[in-house]
Every structure is written in structure tokens, then in C-alpha cells.
Amino acid sequence: MTRLEGTTAPASQTLSRGIRILEVLADARGPLSIDEIAARLEVHRSVAYRLLRTLEDHGLVERDAAGRIELGARLAALAAGVAHDLQAEALPELTAVAGDLGVTCFLAVLDHEECVTLSSVEPRHAVNPVAQRPGTRHPITRGAPGKAILSLLPTSSWPSGVSPELAAEVTDAATRGFATSHDEVIPSLRAVAVPLVVRGRGPAAIAVVFVASAHSDEEIAARLTRSASAIREALGG
Amino acid sequence: MTRLEGTTAPASQTLSRGIRILEVLADARGPLSIDEIAARLEVHRSVAYRLLRTLEDHGLVERDAAGRIELGARLAALAAGVAHDLQAEALPELTAVAGDLGVTCFLAVLDHEECVTLSSVEPRHAVNPVAQRPGTRHPITRGAPGKAILSLLPTSSWPSGVSPELAAEVTDAATRGFATSHDEVIPSLRAVAVPLVVRGRGPAAIAVVFVASAHSDEEIAARLTRSASAIREALGG
DNA sequence: GGAGGCGTGTTCTATATTCGAACAAGCCGT
DNA sequence: ACGGCTTGTTCGAATATAGAACACGCCTCC
């Protein structure tokens, strides 16, 4: 097979296909047969078979009772290593905020043009536990944490298609020091987020989501800012 | 390079090396230079470079401010797809248990001979928030969730080197329906775990950890068993 | 009972892909 | 300016991979 993109950038075809298997499996949200995987990758079955064997050897995929393929638990162990020090320092703070304010509190980081939740802590009787599971992704242009991160970036690296309203909102967030969202990602949910910059690490944010809160946005933001400072100082940045 | 294991099992060398990069990075718990990665893999620098480029294209690794390599946030998104339905159904139950009993509650699954935490919910003011982060791994022979999972397996698939004491404890757990641990994984912490079997999926467990609890082990186990049943029924198995 | 579909797993050779050396170039300290 | 440390690029050789064809087990449906 001829490399498709082979103009300037050398890349490993085999590795890329292996990773695409993981992406396809994550996208499918359920087990897939080898043939289905091969069809989605547009490769021969024997190729998919050999790649899957290798992935299975490393625990990145597993087989269910029917012999079909699904993502392996080892991936969770790998993901725990993402921004390890940041997660370790943030988790106690997330827990404290969730407890103090009675809301879901989470840590999100920038990934290309998306905002990915790394850690999340729910208060007792969370309103929507599934909403902010680790791994949740949203475009950086939607939601409080995305806008908080956007307020850290120079406009030159903003994604294309940012509306004037959003731009105004982000500059507003930059001056206030926090971003909010209302009915933006999940209906009837509100969120408050503050940016978090740690030395040598990409832009991040800590945020809370809730249906209703006894506190004002400013009070919540002040609490989050305190935690963000604590995390930043713990990591020496 | 000659394939080392090439007796009966064909495997992809390139993909395997790419995955080993991720393992090395997770193990290092911090950013690594390309040369360091190449040295640990025992491959030429240019090989590591091309593999890293591919991993970076897919967002599985990123570069920090100094140009060094670390695990990418996209991994967290992939990990969210591991046992997706199980995690989705379990999370509300974990939250309820953590709130009701005031202890950390988590979901763990079997991965080869290890027990991997997938989801975890902390109560307010958790005693040791870092202990049960998603991705935490322990040998299946240590800790309450491991022993609960062990009690589901036939002795033929037990790991080698199970002591008579452990065997007795596991059979005891099988009859009682729950396993416990005390000072076993983390000093001065106790844990209670119940096994969780879902149709077409590998053995799992839900568990709690605490320094002290107002409830007896049996009461906690009964509460966990209720949640396990609810999860199992929600997944139709 | 046997044909036929659908699934996994194996073997094989040509060739495209990968390997790995040698080279180029930036950055920072002394 | 000089070494030492990086990252990034080029290119031929050769090896690991791609993909076809085949073998097998397990269903269903005629």
C-alpha cells in the first residue's frame, strides 16, 4: 500500500493503524468483531488480526466472552500517567471544593482544540454523575472550562470560527479571572471555571458544574482560584 | 532486527515498540527526552523519533515547554471507553455508597493478574484521595477487591504462589460473599469488596476503603451487594 | 444431513515499509 | 568560540509487513 500522506512527513503506518483500532473501539462504545474492525480501518483481515494480537499482548484490548474485541483495562493505567503530578496535586483540592460547595468539581486540560476532563469529584447525590467523567471531551469553544482555557491562549492560536460574542465573553473572562456557562453543554446546568497555569505544562482549568448553588458565581470563582493557586504553588510554578 | 519471539506467534514489531513507548512514559511518571526513550527501548533514535511523531499525530503523546515527551490527554479519552457501559452504570451507585457510608468507593476489574481501578468516588474530606485514583493497579493477590475477584475464579486460573492462608481467606470470601483487607495495601486502611459479575464481561468488584467506619463489615458488604445487584440488573446479566 | 454463510486463525511470498547509520543544525553552558 | 547536549533529516539495504489464499469450527436454513 502506498503511503497516502507521504509528501513531507514520515510516519509509521503500522503504529498508526494500531492506534486507529483503539480509536475505532472507543468510538464504537462496545465490542467489535475482527471483521468489523478491519472494515472500518480499510485493511485486510489478516492485518487487523496481527495488530490486534499485539494490542492484546500489551493488554490494550481484550476479548469478551463471545471472542469479540473491546478496549483493555490497561488503558486506564496508562491514562493515570497523563499529567500525573498535576492530577495528584489537584485531586485533594477538587475533593475539598466539591465538599465545601456541594457541587461536582473537575480538572480539565487542553488537547488540540478540545477540552478533556482528567479528574472529577462528585459531591454526595450528584445531579448528573455521568456528565463529567474523566475522558469527557468538548470543543474548547463551548463550556466554562473551555472558555477559561481559551482566555489563556493568544487569539492567534484560537480555533477558526470564533464568534464575536464568544470573543467578547472570553476577554471578559480574562479580566474577571473566571468563565461561566449556562445551558451551554448540558441543559439546565451551570458551570464556573478558572484557568490554571502550571510551569512547563499546557493550559488547564478547574471547574464546577451544578443545577443550582447557594453561592454566587463570584464566590465560587474565588474558591476555585484559591485552589488553583494552591495547586500551582505545590507544583512550583 | 530479527524477531526475538518468532517461534509460533506473529506479532507486530513496530506497533509493539510504539506501545512500549507509552508504557515507558507511564512508568517514568514525568517527561522524557527522545534519547532517553530510545535508550530504554533499545532502538535507534531515528526509530523512536518516527514512532513518537506518529503517537503525537494521534494525540497519545505531547511535548512540554522544553520539547520533552509526555503522555497525551487523548489517552484519558480512550480510557473512558474501557468497559464503558459498566462504568456508566456503576458510577451512580459508587456515588450513592460513598455518600451513604462516608467512605471512598470504587470499581475495579481484572487485568491479567492485576486488579485495576476504573472509577472511584471520594466522600467529602477523603482520608487518602490519591490511593484509589482510576488506573491504580495492584496484584490480584493483595487487597479486598483483588481477593473478591479471586473468589470468582476457578483455582486453576489462580496465579502461582498463592499461600494456603490466602487460599483459605478467598474461599471464606466466596462463602460470605465479600472480601476484606486490613493494613494490606495501604497502612492503617481497611477495605471491603464484593464481586461483580456482568454478562459477557470479565470479573469485577466494587469496594470501599476507610480508616474507620461506624458500620460493621457485614453492613458495608450488604450495602455493596445491593449496589452490585443493581448494576448487574441494569446491564441485563 | 449437508450446503452455505460467517466467524476465527494460519501460511506464504513480493514488496512496500521500516530500520539504522551518518549527517545537519539549534541551544546552552563553560 | 568551542564542546556537549539536544532534536530533526536523508537515504540505501533488508527486513518486517501486507494481503491473498487456505483451513477450520460453528451456526442456520434449506
For A57, A222, B139, B157, B232, the CA distances from B153, given in Å and listed in that order, are: 21, 51, 15, 7, 18
* Contact flag B84-A29 (C-beta cutoff 8 Å): yes
A19 to chain B, any CB pair closer than 8 A? The answer is yes
How far is it, in rounded angstroms, from Cα B85 to Cα A71? 12
Determine the average pLDDT of the residues in A79-84.
94
Of chain B residues 101-130, which have a CB less than 8 A from chain A?
Answer: 109-112, 116-119, 121-126, 129-130
Q: Return d(Cα B98, Cα B86) in angstroms, integer.
A: 18
Query: In sequence order, what are the residues at sequence separation of 6 or more whose Cβ sits closer than 8 angstroms to the Cβ of residue A108?
Result: A115, A116, A117, A118, A145, A146, A149, A193, A204, A205, A206, A207
Which residues are bridge partners to B116 per DSSP?
A: B109, B137
Write out pLDDT tens, residues A136-155.
999 999 999 999 999 999 99
Taking contacts as CB-CB distances below 8 angstroms, the residues of chain A near B115 are: none
Rounded mean pLDDT, B112-128? 81
A228 touches chain B (CB under 8 A): no
pLDDT digits (tens, 9 = 90+) for B147-182: 999 999 999 889 998 999 999 999 999 999 999 999
pLDDT above 90: residue B11: no
B35-44 residue pLDDT tens: 999 999 999 9
Q: Are A2 and A13 in contact (CB under 8 A)?
A: no
In the predicted model, what is the mean pLDDT of chain A? 90
> How much is the average pLDDT of B95-116?
92
Whole-model pTM: value is 0.91
pLDDT exceeds 50 at position B6: no
pLDDT confidence of residue B170: 97
Q: Which of A53, A55, A52, A54 is nearest to A75 (CA)?
A: A55
* Chain A contact present for B24, CB below 8 A: no
Percent over 90 (pLDDT), chain A: 75
Is residue A205 less than 8 Å (CB to CB) from chain B?
Answer: no
CA–C1' nearest nucleotide, residue B34: D7
Question: Does residue A172 register a pLDDT over 70?
Answer: yes
Asked if A58 has any chain B CB less than 8 Å from its own CB, the reply is yes
Inter-chain CB proximity A78 and B123 less than 8 Å: no
What is the distance between the alpha carbons of residues B208 and A143, in angstroms, rounded to a whole number?
A: 33
Strand D footprint nucleotides (protein C-beta < 7 Å) = 5-11, 15-21
CA distance A51 to chain B (A): 6
Which of the residues A44, A71, A75, A97 would you substitute to probe the B interface, choosing the one with the greatest number of B C-beta atoms within 10 Å?
A75
